[in-house]
Structure formats: C-alpha cells, structure tokens
Amino acid sequence: MNKNYFEVKRAGINTTFQDQGRGNLYHIGIPFSGAMDNRNFQISNKLVGNELNSPSIEFAYQGPLLKYFGDKINFAITGDVKFVVRKKNNNIVGNCYQSFTLENDDELDIISTNKSVYGYLAVSGEFDIDYQWSSCSVNTKANIGANNGKKIEDAQKIYISKINNNLSDKKLNYTNTKIENIRVIQGTNFDYFSDQGKSFFFEKEFIVSKLSDRMGMRLEGPKIENIVDTNIKSEGLIKGVIQVPADGNPIIMLSDHGTIGGYPKIAVVISADYDKLVQLTPGSKIKFKKVELADAETLFKLYDLETENLISQI
C-alpha cells in the first residue's frame, strides 16, 4: 500500500489536481480544464524533476495545510505564494521557484498567494489519483477528473504512489510580472456593438469582479452597448473569448468555461496573455489593447520561447 501521503489539515479555498487538461471533448460539452497558469504549472514540475505534464496541486488565494507522512520527498511551489515548512525543531520560510525537502511528520502550510490568484504545488513523485479521458484535471462543476471530480477537502488524504529516487535541489530565478493591458483580437460579433461601446471597450478601464472563478472572469466598468442583438445562435466558445450579455458587462471565458454560448463575442484574449490574465485578483484593473492575428501569433511564439527558456534553466 501507499505509505507516503499528505493528511489535509486545511484544504484551502479551491484546491484541485490539475495537469494540462483534456482535449477533443468540446463537442460533448467538456472543456479543457487543466492548470489555469500553464507556465507556472510546468515550472513546478520541472523543479522536482517530473515530466512537465505531471499532475500538480493547484490552489487559489489560500492554499492547503498538509502534514506529510513517509519517505523523504522534494516539493516546489510556483506562483507568488507565502508558505512555511514546519519541522520538529524549526520553521523554514519558503521561497517559490525552489525545491525543498519534506520528511516524515513535517507540515507544509501554504498560507496565501500575494496579489495573485493561483499557485502550484508539485512533489517529486506521482500522486495516486484517477484519470478521466486521459487527464487528472478536476472540473468541479461537472465532477470530472481526479478525487471524484471534487476539490481537495479537509481531513482527506493525498497518497503518493511513487517517489523519484534522486532528489536534487533546484532553483530558478523568476518573478511573476503583472499585466494591466490585456491584448485581444477582435471577436466575431464585434459589429454588434455601438461605436461608443467599441471605443469604451478599448479606452476605458474594467475591474475584475468577485464573481470570477475557473469558469470565467466577470468584469465591471462602462456598459458596452449592443445595437444589433443581445443574443446570437448558440455556438462554440474557446478560452479567452469575451462575451457581452445584455447587461453590457463583459465576461471572459476561462479554462472550465461552458463549451457553447449565446452572447455576442466582442473579442478574444490572445494566447500569449492568458497565463497572466488568470492571475488578476478581484479589484484589479484591466485595459484591452487590440492586436492583429499575425502579431498574436508572434507574441505567442515569444511567450512560448520564454517559457521553454525558463524551463531549460532548471
């Protein structure tokens, strides 16, 4: 049996198993899911010597408090996160982007994220969890993925079936940068909005609302007026699409989004800006900046190269 495990003393706010998600299921209504901030997810795995797509634990705002039982294991936390390792005789204040060792009876307290939403915990081993459609990623709305498709809960145990043998210390010099300007490509229903609505969209500030989660980010700001029809015939969505319902408040589709929607699409967030978008906390200010498809493709290449470069430094 698994002799290595965490006992969950405090689950945190929204703590789930995630990998890179599951594709090719939009047509039956199942979104990608997967780690919200893919760069930080991949880096967490590299820091503990795992495959880049290994399951890690994603948490939002407040992370879990975990007591560890078992053989020595390494872990790493990425994002902008405050955490402490409590050992028998001393406490170690943790740093993100650095591997640490846990021994039997140690406690890992992931206290909170700093001015960001998501953080990642990877361990040098394999979590003993179920896969559904070849991914562990948890979608709590549809109860799909590991842990019966549910958040990690207080008092449960998280088993580790296999620990990597060669534990080596790893570190990366990296600081998350915040963005206020979100770059977008015009959406397929851009012409549904009034001239004033269009100019408000690109000129005014929007505030990230509290009603934001893994499915979507609601925004507050000037109302975007629709002059054609506040409904369209329902059609497919992808992450990053910005829909504007009749009340004029934009909603950005995030990783657990509904696969089909019937509100006009004013714009789509470019792939290069997605990881940073999801880290914006409620109350953050956003401004949208228009780019063309060719620019978005170049920006993604640069972002992807930068991610690969960071990973190769570890």
Partner 1 sequence: MIKNISNLGDAALYCDFGSDVNKEINSRVIRYFKSIQKENIDGINNLTPSYNKLIVSFDLKKKNFQTIKKLIENLNVIDSDELASNKIKIPVCCDEKFSLDIKRLEEKLKINRDKIYQKFFGKEFFCYMTGFIAGMPFLGDLEKEMRANRLETPRVKVPKGSVGLTEQFANVYTFESPGGWNIIGNTPLVIFDGSKENNPNLINPGDKVIFEQITKDQHNNYYE
Residue ranges that bind partner 1, judged by CB under 8 A: 23-30, 32, 132-133, 141-144, 149, 185, 187-188, 211, 215-216, 230-231, 233-238, 240-241, 245-247, 258-263, 265, 268-271, 293, 296-297, 300, 304
Residues 6+ apart with CB under 8 A from 306: none
What residue type is assigned to position 59 of the chain? F
- Residue 91 or 298 having the CB closest to partner 1: 298
Q: What are the DSSP calls for 251-299, one per residue? A: EEE-TT--SEE-S-EEEEE-GGGHHHHTTPPTT-EEEEEE--HHHHHHH
Q: Could you tell me the two tokens for 114?
A: 């700093």
Closest contact distance (angstroms) between CB of 191 and partner 1 is 13
Q: Which residue lies nearer to partner 1 by CB, 119 or 240?
A: 240
CB of 301 to partner 1, least distance (A): 8
Nearer to partner 1, 99 or 255 (CB): 255
Tell me whether residue 104 or residue 307 sits nearer to partner 1 (CB atom).
307
Amino acid at 139: N
Give the nearer residue to partner 1 in terms of CB position, either 46 or 239: 239
Which residue number, 26 or 69, has a Cβ lying nearer to partner 1?
26
CB 23 within 8 A of CB 172: no
> Least distance to partner 1 from the beta carbon of 258, Å?
4
d(CA 247, CA 264): 12
Report d(CA 69, CA 67) in Å as an integer.
7
CB of 235 to partner 1, least distance (A): 4
Task: Please tell me the distance from the alpha carbon of residue 83 to that of residue 229, in angstroms, as a whole number.
Answer: 49
The conformation of residue 26, written as its DSSP 8-state character, comes to G
Q: Rounded to the nearest whole angstrom, what is the least distance from the CB of residue 152 to partner 1 in the complex? A: 19
Q: Please state the closest distance from residue 239 (CB atom) to partner 1, in A.
A: 9
Nearest-approach distance from CB 117 to partner 1, in angstroms: 18
Give whichever of 78 and 139 is closer to partner 1, judged by the CB atom.
139
DSSP class of 81: E
Helices assigned H by DSSP within the chain? 38-47, 146-149, 195-203, 274-277, 293-312
